[in-house]
Amino acid sequence: MVDMLLMILAGVGVALFGFVLQTSIAGVNRKIVGRIQKRYGPKWYQEFLDIFKLLSKRSVTHGWIFDFGVIMALGGIIGTAMFMPITSSLMAFPGYDNFFIFVYLIAVGMLGMAMSASGSGNPLASIGVMRALTTMLAYEVPFMIVVLTIIKLTGTSSLSELGILQQAGGDFNWFVIALPLGGIVAVISLMGMLGKKPFVTYIAPAEIASGPMVEYGGKQLGMLFIMHEITVFIEVSLFVHLFLGGAENILFFIIKYFAVYTALNIMSSVYGRLKIDQVVLFFYKWPLILAVTQAFIAIYLGWVI
Amino acid sequence: MLQYAAIAMLMLGLYGLLTQRNVIKIIVSLNIFEIGLNLFIISVGYVDDGIAPILTSNFNNNGLIFVDPLPSALVLTAIVIGVGTTALALALANNIYQKYGTFEIDEMGEE
Amino acid sequence: MTVELLIILTLVLGLVSYFMGRFNKVYGAVVTIIASMFVFISVGYMANDILDGSTFNYNAVKYLPVFATFTVSYLGIFFAILVTFVFAMVSFFNPFFVEKYKYPAVYNMLYIFSLAGVLGVFFTDNLMVLFFFFEFVVWSGLFIIPLGKSKKAAVSYYAFSTAGSFALLYAIFIMRDVAGTYNLYAGLASVSGTTQGTYVMILLSISAFSKLGAFPLHTWLPAAHGNAPHPFSPVLSGALVKLGAFVAILALVKLAPVGDLQSVFGSYTDATFLYASQYAVAILGAMTIVFGTLMAIRQDDAKKLLAYSSVSNGGYILVALSIGGSVGLAGGLYHIIAHALASAAAFLAIGAVSRVTGTSKMSELGGMIHKMPITYMVYLIAIISMAGIPPMGGFISKWLIFQAVIDNGLILIAVAVFFGSIGSFLYVFRPLAALFLGQELPQHKDKAKIPPFFMLLPMIILSLLIVYTGVFPNYILGFINDVMAELGVDALVIGKYTIQGPNGVLHPTLVASVFGVGVLIAFIIFIVLKKSRKVGLMDTYTAGNFIYTEELMHYSLDFYAPIERLYEKYINITEDFYKKLENKVVDFGRMVKYFFFTNKPEVTVFWIVVIIGFLLWGDL
Amino acid sequence: MSAILLIAVPLLTAFVSILFKKYSHYMLIAVSFLSVFALGYMDLETITIGGFDAPFGIVLILDNYSLIGLYLVNILFFIVAVLNCKEYKKLSSILLVSLAGLNGLLLTGDLFNLFVFLEVAGIAAYLITTTNKKPLATFNYLVQGTLGSSLYLLGLILLYAMFGTLNMSDMAREIGTSGYGAGVTALPFLLMFIGFGVEAKLLPFNSWAKGILASSNSLSGPMIASVYAAAISLVFGRLLTNVFVIEGTLLTIVMGILVFSLVAGEAMAFSSKKVKEILLYSSVSQAALVVLVFMTGFAGWAVYLIIGNATAKLVLFLVTNIAAKQLGDDEVDTFKGLFTNNKVVGLAFTAVTLSVVGLPFFFGFVTKMNILENMFLSGAYVWPALILITSFIEGIYFIRLLLNLWHTDGDSPEVKFDFVLKYVVVVIAVLTMIFGVYTKPVQDSADDLVVYSITEGGNF
C-alpha cells in the first residue's frame, strides 16, 4: 500500500514538474514570439505572475456546476499528467502509461471545462465549447491513425517502451524520420491540439467573447490556465515520446520539449485563423489521407525508413 | 363432322364473349358457347350406326348396337342448368337496364 | 426454478398485470415491477448456480410441447442477467408514466410479455423455439410503440424486425435440413464451414443487423426508439437490441468464418488474418458507427439522438464481434454491458425530464439542472460511459476494441472507430449542454421538480453500476472469460486489477484513483482560495447590451451548425431508398389492379384463351 | 343416418320455404343447425346412390377429409345465417339451396355430379350477391362463373371420352394404368383447373372478386369470402391431390398462375386504401397459397390453412361490413380509431388478423411453420422463400391496418356491434389462441389427414 502512495506522490511531482516546465517554456516562447513581432515580450516568468494573480482574485460563480466543472477539468488533467513518463525510465507508474489513457483522460478535462462553460448560462460560452469539440473531432482522428501505425509496427502502446525502442536505434530510428508522412500529420494535429494559430478559433484571444472562457475570472480562470498549461505539457511530451524517441535523461527531454514547443510557436505565429468548418474540412482532407497512406505503406508494404 | 361444328360454335361463343360490350349480346354468346358445349358432349357418345339407347320389352336387345347413353343423360342436366343461368342473366340484365338505362357496359361508367 | 416454469410464470404475471391494470392503472404497473424484479432475482440465482458449477437440471418440469427444450448456457446467462436487469430497473418508471397512455393495461401486459419472450430466446437450445420467442418479442414490442407518438414508427419497426426474423427462420430451416435436428448447437456445428454455412451466416447476419439496427437496416431504430413511450425506449435500446447482438454472436462466433483471404492476397495480409466475411461485417459495422454518429450529432430530439447513439454503439458491437479473437470478443461483450447500462440510464434521465416538461426536444428545454440535479448527475455519468471516458465502463470496452482493431491493422475500420468515439463525445454532450445546462427557461421553471424517489432509485443504481464496471471490471471480465471459454475462444489475460491487451496493459482502478487524486488536488486548490460571489444565470458578460428573455440567452438549436452544414444534403439516403422500394410494390399492385379488375368479363375470357393457347402451342 | 340427408333436407326445405314465406328464415336456421348437429351421427362410409356401382352410378364419399370440410362449412354457414337472418329474410330459401349445393360439393365423388353442385351453389351465390345492389358486378360474376363451370364440363367430357368413367377414384386408377403420357391429359386438366380457378379466385380469372367483395354487405361478404371460398378450395384440393396429374408445361403454367396471384395479391392489398379491398386481395393471395400447398402435396396442413383462413375471413368481413354499413364508406381513414370504444370486437379482430399473419401464440403460426418445415424437408427451397416474402408484405399491411384501427388522434367513430356478433367473434378469437398454444391435437391429426381415403371406388 505504501509503494502505491509513493507512486502517487511521484505522479503529483511529475504533474508539478510538467506545470512548472511548461509555464516557464511558455514564458520564454512569449518572448520569442514577441521578438518575431518586433517587440521584446514580457519577462520569462510572466505566465506564473498571471496565474497567481488570478488565483488571488475574488470572482463570480454561476452555481455549483460552474465550479464542479472547473474542479473536474483540472483534476482530470492533473490525473493524466501523473501518468506521463518524463524519461524512458523516470515515471510515476511504470508499465501503465498506455497511449489511450492520455487521449481519453484529456477528454475528461475537456468535458469538465465544457460542462462548466455551458453551465455558466452564457450562450457565447456554449458556442465556444461547440467549437472546441468540433476542432477536437477534426485533429484527433488523423493523429490516432498515425499512432495506430506506430503501435502496430512496434507491438506496444506504452510510451516508455516506445521511447526505448526508438533510442535503441536498432530496427527503428525516430518515428518522425521512420514514418515521414506520419511525422507531418502528427505536427499538424499537435498544432490543432495545442490550439495554435490556424486552428485556434476556440481559445483565440480575439475570440474571447465567444470562447469557452468568457464567464471565468479569478480563481476559476486561474485554474483553467493551469489546466491549459498541463494539457500542453501532456500533448507536447506525447509527441516527444512517440515521435522523437523519448529521452534517456531529463536534460534531453527538456531540450526536445523546448525545441518542439518553440518550433510550433514560431510556425503558428505566421498563420491567420481558420473557420471551424474549414478546420474540419482541412483535417479530413490532407492529414487523413496522409495518415492512411502512411499506415498502409508502413503496415502492409513494410516501407519504414 | 358434328364435333367440328360443336368446336366452331365454342369458338364463336368465346369470340362473342371477348368482343361484345352489350349485355344482351354477352348473354347470347354465352348461350352459343353452352349449346356448342352440349353438342360436343353429345358427339362424344356417338357410336357408328348405333341406335337410340331405349330398351323395349318385346325385342331381345342383346344383338343391337346402342349409342352411349351416358353423355346424352349428362346433356339433359347441362341444358337445364344453361337455361337456369340464362334466365338469371336476363333478370340481371333487366336490373341493369333499370339502373343504368343502357346495355352498353362502357356507358355505365362503373369504376 | 426451471426455465420453463419461469417463462410460464412470467406470462401468467403478464395476464395478472393486464387484469390488475383494468382495475387500476398504477397497480398494474406495480405488478410489472414485481414481475421483472422476480425474474431478475431468479435469473440471478440461476447464474450463481452455474458459476459455482452445480448443474441444476433445468428441464425437469415439462409444460411446453415436448420439443421445447431449454438449457442454461453461459452465453444465455450473460445476456439474460443484463437484459432482465435493464427490464427490472426500467419497470420502476412504469407506474409514473402509465396514466398517459391510451391502453395502460395492455402496456403493462406487453411489457412483461416481451420480458418472457427475451427469457425464452436466451435460454433455449432449440432453434424453432428460439424463432418462436424471437417473433414473440417483436410482436409484443410492436403494440407498445404506437402508444407513444407515431404509428409509422411501429410499422417500420415491424417491417424490419420481421425481415430479420424471417431471415432467421430460413436459416433455421437450412440448418434443420443439414443437421436433421432443431438443436441450436448441433445445427450451427453441422453447417459451419459448408456452402450452406455461408447462406446461414448471411441470413443470420441480416437478422442480427435488423435487430441491432446496423447500417443497411437501421432506419426503423431512431423512429421506434424516439417515438416509443418514455419508459419503453430504454428497454428497446438497452435490452431488445441485445437480441441482435445474441444472434450476431451465433452468426459471427459460432459459425466458422467464410472466404479465406490468406490464400488470395498471400503475403500482403501477414499483418491481418481476417476472413472475407469478418471483413464484410466489420466494414458494415464501421459504416454503422459513422452513419450513427453523423446522424446523432444533428438531432434536435434528445430521444432520437440517443437512438442514433444506440445505432452507432451497435456498430461498435458488430465490429468487435466480427474481429473476434479473445480481445475483440471480450471487447464486444463488455461493450454490450456498458452500452446497455449507459443508454438505459441516459434514456431514463431524458424520460424523467420529459415526464415533467412534456417534451424531449432540446430546442424547447434548458437549464433543467437547477431543478433536477440528481437526474443531471445520472445523465453525466451515463454519457461519460457512452463517450468511453476513463473512469466509466465504456472506456474499458472501447480500449479493448481499439486493441483488437489495431492488433489486426484494420486502417479504414480504425478511422471509423476513432471517428465514432470522438464523435460520440460530441453528440452525448449536446443534450447535456442544451437540455440540462444553460439558461433555465421560465415555462419549465415551475413545473420542473425533483423526480420522486422511486424514479431516482433505478437511475442511481444504474449509475453506480456504470462506475463499478469502469473501476473494477475484472470480476465481470472473469465472467466474460467463462462465456468465451464456452464459445471456444481462448480467455482474455486479466490480472487481479489489470487487463492485458495485445499491445498494452490497462489498470482501470489505478486510472480511476489517479483521476480521484487529481480531482482532490483541484478541490483543495479551489477551497483554499477566496470564495466567489454567487451570481444569477442572467448576469453574464454580454458586451454591454441588456438581456431580459431567457430564451434568447440559451444556445440549443443547431448546436453543431458548422458540422451539420457539411453533410446536410446526404441525411436521408436510406429512408429514400426504402420509400422507393415501397412505392415500387404499390405501383405493381395498382398496375395489376387496373389491368385485371374491371367490371367487364372479357379480361378473364382473354386470359383463359391465352393460357389454353399457351398450353396447346407446341402440340397442334 | 346417411350423408345424403345433408343434401336432401336443405333442398326439400328450400322449396317448402317458398310456400311459407313468413317462417322461411326460421326454417333456414333450424335446418342449418340440424345439419351441423346431424354430422355428429354420420359414420364414415361411401354411399352409392341407386345401388349402381362406381363406373355407372353416382357415389357420395364421407371420409375424414369431407367430414372436416362439412363441419367447417356448416358451422360457418350457420353463423352467417344466424347473424343475417333478420335483415335478409327473403333470401332464406336461396340460402337453403346454397347450403345443399355446398354440402353436395363436399360429398360428391363423381366429377359430373361435382359440376352440377358447382352450378347449384354458383347460382345461389349469384343470387346472394344481388343483395349488394350492384347488378353489373353480379352479372360479371355470373358470366365468368358460368364460363368457368362450362370449361370444367368440357374438360370433364374430354376425360370421359378418353377413360370412360366419371368417378373420381376410377378416373385416378384409369389414368394411372392407362400409360398415357402427361401431355395427353394436360388439356382437360387445364380446363378443369381454370374452371375451379375462377371460383377459387386465382388471379387471372378472378376479375369478378373486386366487384362483388368490395361492395359486399354483412351477408354476401362473409358468405362468398369465407364459406364459399372454404368449400371451393377444399374440393379443389381433393381434385388436385387425387385426380389431377400435373407435369411438364401444365406444371409450369399452373405454378406461374399461383406465383403470380400469390405475389400480385399481396402487392394489391399493400397498395389499396379501402379496408374491404385489403381483405379481398389478401384472401386472393391466401387462396393461391392454399392451392400451392395442395400442389406440393401436404393436404393435411392445407386443410388447416383453409380452416384458419376461413374463420379469420369470416370475422374480418363481418366486422368490416357491419362497421362500413354504419359509417358509410370503408376508407381506412374513416375507420381510424374504430376499436377505441369497442375493445372486445377490436381484440378479437386483432387476434384473428395476427393469426392470419402468422405470429406466435396463434393458430396461423402453427400451420405456417409446419407447412414451411414440410416444404423444406421435401426439398423445395424456392417456395418457403416466396411464402416468407409474401407473408412479410402481408404482415406490413395488416399491422398498418391494425394500428390505424386502434389509434387515432382525432375522435373515434361510433359503431355499435350487437351482442351475438361480439359472442361469435370472441369465440373464434379464443379458439385461434387456444389452438395456437396447445398445438398437440393439430400436430398429430394433420398427419393422418394426409392419408385420407379415396382408394378404390365403392368400398371405404
Q: What is the pLDDT of residue D253?
A: 87
Q: What is the pLDDT of residue C604?
A: 84
Structural contact between residues D8 and D101, judged by C-beta atoms closer than 8 angstroms: no
Among A residues 14-33, those touching chain C with beta carbons less than 8 Å apart:
15
Inter-chain residue contact C619 with D183, CB threshold 8 Å: yes
Residues of B in contact with D211 (CB under 8 A): 110
pLDDT tens string C173-199: 888 888 888 888 888 888 877 788 888
Grid-cell match 491481418, residue found? C272
Question: Taking Cα atoms as reference points, which of D339, C415, C217 lies closest to residue A292?
Answer: C415
List chains adjacent to chain C, taking adjacency as at least 3 C-beta pairs closer than 8 Å.
A, B, D
Report residue D460 as a C-alpha cell.
371405404
Residue D85's Cα: distance from chain center in Å?
Answer: 21
Distances (CA, A) of D460 to C588, D286, D300: 49, 32, 19
Q: What is the pLDDT of residue D100?
A: 92
Q: What is the pLDDT of residue C583?
A: 92
Q: What is the mean pLDDT of residues D340-344?
A: 82
**Of residues C599, C600, C605, nearest to B14 (C-beta):** C605
Question: Regarding predicted confidence, which is higher, A148 or D182?
Answer: A148
**Of residues C411, C502, C518, nearest to A75 (C-beta):** C518
**In chain B, where the domains are located:** 2-49+65-106
Report residue C244 as a C-alpha cell.
441482435
With CA atoms as reference, the chain D residue closest to C159 would be D396
**Of residues D138, D146, D153, nearest to B85 (C-beta):** D146
CA atoms within 13 A of residue C249's CA, in its CB half-sphere:
25
B101 Cα to chain D: minimum distance (Å) = 12
Distances (CA, A) of C334 to C324, C327, C360, C466: 13, 10, 29, 12
DSSP C491: P
Residues of D in contact with B89 (CB under 8 A): 139, 142-143, 146
- State residue D46 phi and psi, 5-degree precision: -105, 125
Average pLDDT along chain C: 85
Crossing angle of helices A99-119 and C393-407, rounded to 10°: 140
- Determine how many CB atoms are found less than 10 A away from the CB of residue C51: 13
Q: What is the pLDDT of residue D453?
A: 42
Among B residues 25-84, those touching chain C with beta carbons less than 8 Å apart:
26
Inter-chain residue contact C411 with A108, CB threshold 8 Å: no
With CA atoms as reference, the chain C residue closest to A121 would be C438
With CA atoms as reference, the chain C residue closest to B108 would be C599
Rg (CA), chain A: 19
With CA atoms as reference, the chain C residue closest to D408 would be C151
- Determine how many CB atoms are found less than 10 A away from the CB of residue C316: 30
Report residue A190 as a C-alpha cell.
499537435
Inter-chain residue contact D154 with B10, CB threshold 8 Å: yes
Question: In this complex, is the C-beta atom of D42 within 8 Å of any C-beta atom belonging to chain B?
Answer: no
H helices present in D42-85, as ranges: 64-84
Q: What is the pLDDT of residue C336?
A: 92
Q: What is the pLDDT of residue D454?
A: 41
Picking from A290-304, C251-265, D231-245, which range would have the lowest pLDDT averaged per residue?
C251-265
Q: What is the pLDDT of residue D124?
A: 92
**Of residues C174, C588, C612, nearest to D190 (C-beta):** C612
Question: Taking Cα atoms as reference points, which of A235, A258, A135 lies closest to residue A192?
Answer: A135
Question: Taking Cα atoms as reference points, which of D307, D282, D134, D127 lies closest to residue D211?
Answer: D134
A239 Cα to chain C: minimum distance (Å) = 18
Inter-chain residue contact B108 with D136, CB threshold 8 Å: yes
Crossing angle of helices C104-123 and C241-249, rounded to 10°: 10
pLDDT tens string C101-112: 878 888 888 899
Question: For testing the chain B interface, which of D123, D157, D167 should be mutated: the one with the most B CBs within 10 Å?
Answer: D157
Residues of B in contact with D131 (CB under 8 A): none
Inter-chain residue contact D123 with B30, CB threshold 8 Å: no
Please state the pTM of the whole predicted model: 0.89
**Of residues B70, B78, B85, nearest to D123 (C-beta):** B85
For the CA atoms of D177, D182, D185, D186, what is the dihedral angle to 10 degrees?
160
Which pLDDT band holds residue D452 (cuts at 50, 70, 90)? Answer: very low
Q: What is the pLDDT of residue D459?
A: 30
Report residue C52 as a C-alpha cell.
459455482
Which pLDDT band holds residue D456 (cuts at 50, 70, 90)? Answer: very low
Which pLDDT band holds residue C620 (cuts at 50, 70, 90)? Answer: low
Crossing angle of helices D207-214 and D135-163, rounded to 10°: 140
What count of CB pairs under 8 Å joins C to D? 154
Which pLDDT band holds residue C499 (cuts at 50, 70, 90)? Answer: confident
B18 Cα to chain C: minimum distance (Å) = 5
Inter-chain residue contact A79 with C518, CB threshold 8 Å: yes
D129 Cα to chain B: minimum distance (Å) = 11
Question: In this complex, is the C-beta atom of A299 within 8 Å of any C-beta atom belonging to chain C?
Answer: yes
DSSP C495: -
Residues of D in contact with B23 (CB under 8 A): 139
Residues of D in contact with C173 (CB under 8 A): 372-373, 376, 384
- State residue C124 phi and psi, 5-degree precision: -90, 155
For the CA atoms of A106, A110, A115, A117, what is the dihedral angle to 10 degrees?
150
Question: Regarding predicted confidence, which is higher, C305 or D217?
Answer: C305
- How would you write the pLDDT of chain A (305 residues) with one tens digit per residue? 788 888 889 989 999 999 999 999 999 998 998 998 898 888 888 889 988 898 888 888 888 888 899 999 999 999 999 888 888 788 888 888 888 888 888 888 888 888 888 888 888 888 888 888 888 888 889 999 999 888 888 888 888 888 888 887 666 778 888 888 889 999 999 988 888 878 887 777 777 676 788 888 888 888 888 988 999 999 999 998 888 887 888 898 899 999 999 999 888 888 888 888 888 889 889 999 999 998 888 888 877 77
Amino acid at D213: L
Report residue A163 as a C-alpha cell.
521511447
CA-to-CA distance for A248 and A90, rounded, in angstroms? 9
D87 Cα to chain C: minimum distance (Å) = 27
Residues of D in contact with B108 (CB under 8 A): 136
CA-to-CA distance for D88 and B37, rounded, in angstroms? 36
pLDDT tens string C210-223: 988 888 888 888 88
C501, containing H or E segment = strand C499-501
Inter-chain residue contact B110 with C609, CB threshold 8 Å: no
Structural contact between residues D263 and D394, judged by C-beta atoms closer than 8 angstroms: no
Q: Class of B2-49+65-106 per CATH?
A: mainly alpha
Report residue D118 as a C-alpha cell.
358447382
Which are the contacts of D256, defined by CB distance < 8 A and separation ≥ 6? none
Which are the contacts of D3, defined by CB distance < 8 A and separation ≥ 6? D42, D47, D60, D62, D107
CA-to-CA distance for A304 and A172, rounded, in angstroms? 8
Structural contact between residues A132 and A212, judged by C-beta atoms closer than 8 angstroms: yes
With CA atoms as reference, the chain C residue closest to B13 would be C605
CA angle at residue A233 from A230 to A237, to 5 degrees? 150
- Whether chains D and A touch (3+ CB pairs under 8 A) is answered by no
Question: For testing the chain B interface, which of C590, C593, C600 should be mutated: the one with the most B CBs within 10 Å?
Answer: C600
What count of CB pairs under 8 Å joins B to C? 16
Residues of D in contact with B71 (CB under 8 A): 157, 160
Question: Taking Cα atoms as reference points, which of C50, C56, C51, C52 lies closest to residue C5?
Answer: C56
For the CA atoms of A115, A116, A120, A121, what is the dihedral angle to 10 degrees?
0
Question: Taking Cα atoms as reference points, which of A108, A106, A105, A110 lies closest to residue A133?
Answer: A110
For chain B, the maximum distance between any two Cα atoms, rounded to a whole number of angstroms, is 66
Q: What is the pLDDT of residue B89?
A: 92
Residues of C in contact with B26 (CB under 8 A): 601
Structural contact between residues B17 and C602, judged by C-beta atoms closer than 8 angstroms: yes
Structural contact between residues D428 and D348, judged by C-beta atoms closer than 8 angstroms: yes
Report residue A164 as a C-alpha cell.
526505448
CA-to-CA distance for A304 and A153, rounded, in angstroms? 9
**Of residues D203, D211, D440, nearest to C65 (C-beta):** D440
Which pLDDT band holds residue D102 (cuts at 50, 70, 90)? Answer: very high
**Of residues D365, D373, D392, nearest to C173 (C-beta):** D373
Classify C428 as helix, strand or coil: helix
pLDDT tens string C341-389: 999 999 999 988 888 888 888 888 888 888 888 899 999 999 999 988 8
CA-to-CA distance for D361 and D399, rounded, in angstroms? 16
Which pLDDT band holds residue D125 (cuts at 50, 70, 90)? Answer: very high
Q: What is the mean pLDDT of residues C245-267?
A: 76
- Determine how many CB atoms are found less than 10 A away from the CB of residue C573: 9
Q: What is the pLDDT of residue D457?
A: 32
Inter-chain residue contact B17 with C600, CB threshold 8 Å: no
Rg (CA), chain D: 21
Structural contact between residues D415 and D322, judged by C-beta atoms closer than 8 angstroms: yes
Residues of D in contact with B30 (CB under 8 A): 143, 146-147
Q: What is the pLDDT of residue C57?
A: 53
Q: With 50 as the cut, is the pLDDT of residue B21 above it?
A: yes
Inter-chain residue contact C585 with D270, CB threshold 8 Å: yes
Question: Regarding predicted confidence, which is higher, D231 or C410?
Answer: D231
Amino acid at C102: K
Q: With 50 as the cut, is the pLDDT of residue D226 above it?
A: yes
Rg (CA), chain B: 20
Amino acid at D102: L
Q: With 80 as the cut, is the pLDDT of residue D447 above it?
A: no
Q: With 60 as the cut, is the pLDDT of residue C601 above it?
A: yes
Which residues in C190-200 are b (16+ Cβ under 10 Å) and which e?
A: bbbeeebbbbb
Question: In this complex, is the C-beta atom of A145 within 8 Å of any C-beta atom belonging to chain C?
Answer: yes
**Of residues A98, A104, A144, nearest to C504 (C-beta):** A98
